[in-house]
Amino acid sequence: MSETATVDLTALLERLDALESREAITGLMTSYMAATDAATDKGVKVAALFTEDGQWESVGPHGNPGWAAQGHEALIKKFDRNVERMPFSAHFVTNAAIQLDGDTARGQFMYFQACTYRGDQPLWIAGSYDNDFRRVDGRWLLSYMRVHNFFTTPFDQGWVKVPHLKTP
């Protein structure tokens, strides 16, 4: 094989890995949304998408630092509490922007959520994610999720009238 063919093959394999990695990370975020919307075993399903030392943090002006969690046990506890708080939720993720660096990556996404809070209050929630990812044994996982909430508002009032409703 010529040197040019070897270089072309190496470049092709790097491009293929980048495409597959971006697709896997986008799929991981879709899986995260499905796990957070699960009716049962929400915490276990979410924690399985994170590295062993993975972190979840609520940031920004509407952030809730008390909700931070690190490690599978803390993530399970954090997300299992949402089963009762939000018995129904439907998350949507869009606008993926993923930067790759070998076996690590950073990605920004937008999210929108329709949910029922405390059993009888319908809410709209929107925000963005700024995440770190790590490839572990060939599988992309979340290593640090930063959730920036833009608004949490009653669906019938909107984010202009009620820009942020606290949901303890």
pTM of the model: 0.92
What is the Cα–Cα distance from 125 to 119, expressed in whole angstroms? 16
The amino acid that residue 105 corresponds to is A
What are the tens digits of pLDDT across the range 53-92? 999 999 999 988 889 999 999 999 999 988 888 999 999 9
CB contact at 8 A, 154 and 121: yes
Question: Which pLDDT does position 83 carry in this prediction?
Answer: 85
**Structural domains present in the chain:** 3-161 (3.10.450.50)
The beta strand positions in the chain, using DSSP E, are 50-59, 69-70, 88-101, 104-117, 121-136, 139-154
What are the tens digits of pLDDT across the range 128-150? 999 999 999 999 999 999 999 99
